[in-house]
Each structure stands twice: as C-alpha cells, then as structure tokens.
Amino acid sequence: MAIHGSFNSIVAEVVEVDMSSGSLQVMNVFCVADAGFAYCPNAFKAQMESGIIFGLTAALHGEISIENGAVKQSNLHDYQMVRMNTAPDIHVEIINSGERTGGAGEPGTPPIAPALTNAIFAATGNRIRQLPVKIS
C-alpha cells in the first residue's frame, strides 16, 4: 500500500501480486482517489488507470540502455511496456470529499511503485530498493 498527495489530490493504492510461480505477476491494483470533486467520474477513473499503467511500466521495465553513446531503444517495438495482455485488473474508487478541486492527470502515478514494492516485500520478505524491479 502507498498513499501520495499531489496537485491537491490524495491517492492511495494497494497492489496484489502473485509470486507463486517464482516470477512476479501483478494481479490487481486498487486505487482510492480524492480530488475534492470529480466533475467527470469516467474521465477521472481513466486518468487514474493510465497513471497506474504508466507508473507500472516505469517500475517494471523503465530502463534505457546506452550503446556506443546512443539510446539503444529506438521506439516502442524494442522498449518493454505494460500492455493490455500483461496489465493487472485496476479498480478505482472516487471520494468526493468536497475539498478544493484537485488534479487527475498525474496523481495516480507516484504511489504505484512503492505500493508494488511493498506488495513484493509482503509476499517475499525482500525489500526492493531500486527500479526497475528485478526479481531473481
């Protein structure tokens, strides 16, 4: 679990992982977000979901390789990302607290990496101290 406040929004996320096969599989992400009031709830949920996918991609695969002084990855075909077939189920709940209205674009991203590494710690007892996550 992790919680973060930014752009006048508060977002908490819980990640469920499965390590039973010896490799990491992110099963579910539960997100609760308070932006004061979500004027367009479907768009707000979509923003939380996209921020979670963006953050998971960085946490799991966000490594750029340099070869001969240049970035080795030239485009999305050779840069691994969380895609539809590897994405977890994402569950978003909105709290309309009535506080000052906050943002929805960025606040879903910051808590996902710590929520993920805390889930790995809960499952294995091993703390992840560096990204991208490497499970050996």
Is residue 92 one of the residues assigned to a domain? yes
Residue 69 located in a structural domain: no
User: Looking at the domain assignment, is residue 95 inside a domain?
Assistant: yes
What confidence tens digit (pLDDT) does each residue in 69-114 have?
A: 999 988 888 888 999 999 999 999 999 999 999 999 899 999 999 9
The DSSP 8-state label assigned to residue 20 in this structure reads T
Q: Domain holding 39: CATH number?
A: 3.30.365.10
Number of structural domains, the chain?
Answer: 1
Reported as type and span, the H/E element at residue 128 is: none
Residue with the two structure tokens 């709830």: 41
Is position 70 within any domain?
no
> Mean pLDDT of all residues in the chain?
95
Residue that wins the pLDDT comparison between 58 and 136: 58
Q: What is the reported pLDDT for 75?
A: 87
Kindly state whether residue 79 falls inside one of the protein's structural domains: no
30, containing H or E segment:
strand 25-34
Q: pLDDT, tens digit, for every residue of 1-18?
A: 999 999 999 999 999 999
Q: How far apart are CA 125 and CA 120, in angstroms?
A: 7
Q: How many Å apart are CA 127 and CA 136, to the nearest integer?
A: 13
**Alpha-carbon gap, residue 32 to 12, rounded angstroms:** 5
Q: Which domain holds residue 113?
A: 10-63+84-124
Does a structural domain hold residue 74?
no
